[in-house]
Amino acid sequence: MQLISAVVFSAVVSGCFGQNETFPTWFLFGAATAAYQIEGGWNAGDKGESMWDRLLHSTNDITLDSSNADVACDSYHLWKRDIEVAKELGLNVYRFSISWPRILPSGFPNQVSEDGKKYYSNLIDGLLEKGIQPVVTMYHWDLPQSLQDLGGWANPLIATWFGDYARVLYNLFGDRVKYWITLNEPLAICDGGYNKMAAPYLDDMKIGGYLCNKHVLLAHAAAYRVYEKEFQSLYYGKLSMANVFFWFKPEKTTDEEATKLAIQMWEGRYAHPIYSESGGWPPELEKILAENSKKEGYPYPRLPPFTPEEIEFVKGTYDFYALNHYTTRLVRKVDPEKAGSWPYYGCKEIGVDFVNHPTWKTAVIDWFAIYPEGLREQLLWINNTYGVDQVMITENGYPDLNDDLFDVQRMTYIKTMLQQVFLAINDGIHVMGYTVWSMMDNFEWVTGYKTKYGLYAVDFLSPNLTRTPRESARFYSSVTKGRRIPKYRVLVDYEDV
């Protein structure tokens, strides 16, 4: 058996920096987590029940390891250690989410939890004391069950409810939080939640999923307009909605039009209404979905049209583009009847499949192809398509299935992605920051605790849920503290045992 010496590798990583890959002083290095995935304390104090609580307490066959997040990383109690981890990593920003039912136990602002208020206030103050800016996500998938019982994201009133929730957050924390994310990955909220891949775990993409599409955009806009009208002149913060946007390239030249349509289906549904000059749904996509609805016998489009007033309400509700990027896929045009269901329902609507390039390596997840150049290509596309002034990469990370502390694949992934970010900045694109998913191992939704994304390993069997830095954490902290990408090569020291 042969072992690789992490000591030798670490010395090389930490000791040799590139001379021409220095990030600007304004560039923000960050890492991210989410409330349901790390907090635990699911019924602590007066916290309300979330739809993930209800789902995973009702059945144990949703997750790969039959687990739930009742305890998770226990950040509800160990938040001081999380701040220490963020400091050890040298972060400029820490992105975390607020649990809607922890702040508003009923889902509505009739009762604001003092316990929840204290928890998040302590976390924010603790970060600021260490010189770390909070990037706060208002919604990372843990809807109050009370609102799900009323229809959740399929109920048009949820836009108003979300605006009310956002106002509470601004009143509580707006004086200290300068970066807000309204919703994380609306594609996952809707196309996952209504295609039996995430809570509320419904099989209703044709109707409920597309209602959700419209309502998450109206909810985002409601939160943005509340801040714009009532808080912007007080706190001068910046807001956005985080889109998960895998980059797409055609498998063959004959797939170029299908690729453009796939980009609109994946990203345009959630970005075109906000960032484009015209607003509303992407026209070509709206036309195809209306035609599909008509062929299926529906008297109205399954993707609900925006009214002119709604188009104006949503359009322009951003201060930067928030991008969650993980991978690049090749697009292949196929018969809609033969299209797969991943990623989510959209493949069947537009007749595409996604495949891996034969020369690209993949992570342990088969769809997770590694093509770092795709990030830069994607940033160029965003810039050319929408002309946004600033882009923040709000998630980017690498999955694994083991607890190995010597995670060379994750280090290589982060390094090559950062190189592409640096090149994009040199292209003239104002990439304002880069955020690793995730700061530490956590509950990864339907994969439970099997999938590891963390810079820090978490021992979920230890009483204190010990956080231990991986080599990727040491590497990333050398980047954040030196503001340069280390030039390194892997020196392998073999020992026979």
Contacts of 460 (CB under 8 A, 6+ apart): 441, 449
92, 329, 392, 414 from 371: Cα distances, Å: 27, 9, 20, 12
282, 438, 446 from 64: Cα distances, Å: 36, 20, 6
Cα–Cα distance, 219 to 227 (Å, whole number): 13
* Rg of the chain, C-alpha, whole Å: 22
Cα–Cα distance, 136 to 114 (Å, whole number): 19
User: Looking at 185, 267, 349, 471, which residue is catalytic?
Assistant: 185
CB 317 within 8 A of CB 274: yes
Active site residue 286: no
CB 360 within 8 A of CB 429: no
Residue 297 is classified by DSSP as T
269, 318, 373, 429, 430 from 388: Cα distances, Å: 17, 9, 20, 9, 9
Q: Is the dihedral of CA 127, 104, 324, 268 positive or negative?
A: negative
Active site residue 114: no
User: Looking at 21, 49, 310, 395, which residue is catalytic?
Assistant: 395
Q: Is the dihedral of CA 186, 191, 193, 198 positive or negative?
A: negative
| DSSP letters for 23-56 | PPTTPEEEEE--HHHH---TTSTTPPPBHHHHHH
Q: Could you list the active site residues?
A: 185, 395
